[in-house]
Amino acid sequence: MTNNIVLISMVKNESDIIESFVRHHIDMVDAMLIVNHNSVDSTGKILELLKEEGFNLFIFNENLVEYEQSLIMTRLLYQAINDFNADIVIPLDADEFLVPSKDINDCRQLLETIDTDAIYRVDSFNYFQTHAAAVPVAFSLDAIKLKSRTRQNAGKIIVGRDIVTKFKVGLAMGN
């Protein structure tokens, strides 16, 4: 049996990377739930255009004045499980990308088989353009001149449905 995989994210003013984030992950997951938190750039428009392309992308707008990442992401976690029947939930920021390792070359294949009664910690790297290009260039993780790969100390988590339902867990800042 393969897992139903849902990626959740909360974004704000991510127009420089949001398209790459969605396109990179969309084949790894069954659905993406993204909360657009008061973006004033073109993040919302980019997300809508990607949805119009037919991606299994669900966009929610959040207008809370304060930045309540823990509250919003926990709500998304339960929505992924209850409304989208997620077996595995992947909380990520828009500048975080799941990438294959030397031992695993297919992230989707691995995610389909992991235990739903566990929380996994994975190494996490932030990707971003190191300089503004004179001519806009499509963001690519492989474009050496356009990436800075910085390891995060705490890493990120991937959480199984059974852990969430058994222990009523929530997500903290940074997920």
For residue 127, list its beta bridge partners: 149
Q: Which of 38-47, 67-76, 102-111 has the lowest mean pLDDT?
A: 102-111
- Most confident region among 16-30, 104-118, 121-135 by mean pLDDT: 16-30
Q: Express each pLDDT in 135-169 by its tens digit.
A: 455 555 655 444 455 555 667 899 999 999 999 98
pLDDT at 76: 96
Q: Express each pLDDT in 52-78 by its tens digit.
A: 999 999 999 988 766 688 899 999 999
- Provide Rg for the chain, Cα atoms: 16
CA distances from 89 to 32, 53, 80 (A): 10, 23, 7
Residue 8 has pLDDT above 80, yes or no: yes
Cβ atoms 89, 164 nearer than 8 A:
yes
pLDDT at 98: 85
